[in-house]
Structure 1
Amino acid sequence: MKRKAVAAVSAAVLTAGLGISAAQWASAETPTPSPTPTSTTTADPDHTGHKGGKQRGSKQDLSGLASKLGVDQTKLADAVSAARKSLPTKTESANQTDAEREAARAARQAAYAKALASELGIDEAKVTQALNELRTERQAARTAADKAVLDQAVKDGKLTQAEADAVQKAADQGIVRIGGHGRGR
């Protein structure tokens, strides 16, 4: 009986998640980009060869980190590049538990903070704090965006509040993504 209930809830969450994705895709409008002033050049690759001062595959905002650390963005970009090159490559096993994966992630983050602090010649605790603050800010922004998507779906009658709550719960557990956010990105 419990398996049937879990299967039914999972099917409802998956259906609701797919419904939101399909509705977003169907109603998507192509926004007209407007230029905005920024301290990062996005038209040409920077000295690291990546656009916008971001490292490929990174979600790190170098301008925000530079500001939090009180260092020049160019110096930070050089330090980030050197710190990443000094770290061992990420290895994961399909046999790892979630706890093992989380411990490995935490160890990689600590090693990165230490290497970056060394490259910049500043205190490791300051680098760790700045990285944690940025991570918290990004998570808060994603949470707000997810809530807005679900609130709009409820307002538009695409989901009931109970369905939106179920989708949010599934997103919090990393089962589904809302608006392209969540696990696996």
Structure 2
Amino acid sequence: MNSVRKRAGLAAGAAALVGAGLVFPAVAFADGSERAPAAQEEARPERGKAAEQREKRQKALAEALAKDLGVPVEKVNASLEKFRAAQREERAEIREKHRKDREGKRPDGTALRQKLANRLDQAVKDGKLTREQADAILAAAKTGVLPGPFGGHRQQSS
């Protein structure tokens, strides 16, 4: 029963890859210039059981695809590795874009502290805080004791 599920999973995975058109271009353009899969395995440090299981599934997928497509397993492995490398590069580019998008959009700490001061003044007027409590909160914000943008980065203690 377990092997039937594995085969069904492999077939579904292969069909999804082939159906999405992701494997054929990669197989067609594989030139074998990357390191062989055996050399890649030797270069990898020791990893956990989950990584070993993932590698077994990927190997089984490559073998099933090679059989279905009628190409050597090495060519499928090389194509899949190219595809994975392209995915990693794309994810890195997306992370870099998001990092650049966030750059410069951080609120000004001075403006936020002024907004905090205004809210604390209102709380004092409403009788929710004493002036001493409000002053203590402002002092904490100015010295960086409060987390978040009010105090900016925490100061390093020496």
TM-score, normalised to structure 1, is: 0.37
The higher radius of gyration belongs to 2
Higher-RCO chain (CA-CA 8 Å, sequence separation at least 6): 1
TM-score, normalised to structure 2, is: 0.43
Structure with the higher fraction of residues in helix conformation? 2
